[in-house]
Amino acid sequence: MIAYFLRRLISAIPTLLAIITIAFFMMRIAPGGPFDTERRLPPEVEANLEKAYHLNEPLVAQYWDYLGGILHGDFGPSFRYKDFTVTELIRAGFPVSLKLGLSAIVIALVLGIAFGTYAALRQNRLGDHAVMGLAVTGIAIPNYVVAPLLTLVLGIYLGWLPVGGWNDGAFRNMILPVATLALPLIAYVTRLTRGSMIEVLRANYIRTARAKGLPMRLIVWRHALPAAILPVITYLGPAAAAVLTGSLVVEQIFGLPGIGRYFIQGALNRDYTLVMGVVIFYASLIILLNLMVDLLYALLDPKVSYR
């Protein structure tokens, strides 16, 4: 198991290197540069800026410099946010994105598994149809529609919740963004749980348990749920990715200081170092999460083992 873990970690290095290289050169191929803005700078001033950021050196030399910097944990200064280094920006933004994302995933798991199990147990009855109808709606409505609707009703018409801002992660400020992020996830988890639960409930060992006269609660909790939950665990990898990409939209709409927004803003501003920093950070995170999901899978499913 440990050998497997290490092997996976080592094999991540070439993947990361490829991502860094492709991202670095693609960023530079894109027309326009960090100083192409509405307010053009005179050439002599731009020359001073390019020198300050080493942009006047050959591209390949810049690439090696950049790789060297990464090895020392230095992602360089941001072009757009001149008073900060990229590391400082990610350090400031990540806790926000993490808090949002984790809350959304936890809520999605708890509610999704609960709803899914409920629907499975009432298969093809009113409760099932109601839950599944809601789930399909949840999947179908994109978060950039849900978010303004929620803020309009709960924030402006009713005045119950703040419509934006982070306020140091106050609970009130978290509710709407987390709800927006979690809704489609709840819907997915509900559907996944329902499907696999129905399948598991038909399995022979469940029938045996029933025949033994075990109470239904015990059967579901102890025997059915651990098996039914496996597809949900598999979904955690894509869910994490969905939360990351979803947070781009949610952070933008609610004006939250996470790192999701750096992706879009950084790319539009040609903030080379910031985009690279976020790309590397996200790539590492996704590689790590996928690895953890695989390991978790091995723990939960006796049929899977890694060597």
Partner 1 sequence: MKNRWIRASFALLAGLAVMTVGMETASAADATTLHRGTSGEPGSIDPQRINGVWEQVVVLDLFLGLTTDDANGDPIPGLAKSWTVSPDKTRYTFKLRDDVKWTDGTPVTAEDAVFGLRRALDPATATPSASLLYVIKNGAAVNTGKMPVDKIGVSAPDSHTVVIDLTSPTPYFLALLTNPVTYPAPKHVIDKYGKDWIKPDHIVTDGAYKFVDWVPQGHITAEKNPGFYDAKNVHIPRVVYEFTEDRSTALRRFRAGEIDINNDVPVDQIPWLKANMPDALHLTPYLATYYYVFNMSKPPFNDKRVRLALSMLVERDVITDKIIRVGDIPAFGVVPPNTANYDGPAVKASFADMGMAERVKKARELLTEAGYGPGFPLHVTLRYNTSDNHKKIATAVAAMWKRAGVLTDLENADVAVHYAALREGDFEIARAGWVADYNDPQNFLALFQDKTATINYSRYNNPAFDKLMDAAANTADLKARSAILHKAEAMAIDDAPVLPIYFYVSKNLVSTRVKGWVDNAEDIHPTRYLSLQP
Residues 59-78 that bind partner 1 (CB under 8 A): none
Residue 40 makes contact with partner 1 by CB under 8 A: yes
Total interface residues for partner 1 by CB under 8 A: 74
- For partner 1, which is the closer residue by CB, 68 or 215? 215
Our finding on whether 108 is near partner 1 (CB under 8 A) is no
Alpha helices, DSSP H, located in 122-170: 126-140, 143-150
Return all residues near 92 (Cβ < 8 A) that are at least 6 apart: 84, 257
Contacts of 24 (CB under 8 A, 6+ apart): 63, 66, 276
147 or 233, CB closer to partner 1? Answer: 147
In this structure, is the dihedral angle defined by the CA atoms of residues 26, 31, 37 and 39, taken in order, positive or negative? positive
Binding flag, residue 101, partner 1 (CB under 8 A):
no
Would you call 126 helix, strand, or coil by DSSP? helix
| Dihedral sign computed on CA atoms, order 240, 242, 245, 250 | negative
Stretch that binds partner 1, among 1-9, 36-44, 63-71, 195-203 (CB under 8 A): 36-44
Q: Which of 9, 30, 67, 145 binds partner 1 (CB under 8 A)?
A: 30
Out of 117, 190, 193, 247, name the contact with partner 1 by CB under 8 A. 117
Binding status of residue 213 toward partner 1 by CB under 8 A: no
Range in contact with partner 1 (rule: CB under 8 A) among 63-71, 115-123, 288-296, 297-305: 115-123
Whichever of 86 and 287 has its CB closer to partner 1, that residue is 86
Q: Are 209 and 131 in contact (CB under 8 A)?
A: no
121 belongs to the binding site for partner 1 (CB under 8 A) = yes
Q: Does 156 bind partner 1 (CB under 8 A)?
A: yes
Which residues between 237 and 266 bind partner 1 (CB under 8 A)? 251-258, 261-262, 265
Q: Are 131 and 195 within 8 A, CB to CB?
A: no
Residue 289 interacting with partner 1 (CB under 8 A) = no
Taking a C-beta distance cutoff of 8 angstroms, is the pair 177, 217 a contact?
no
DSSP single-letter state for residue 30: S
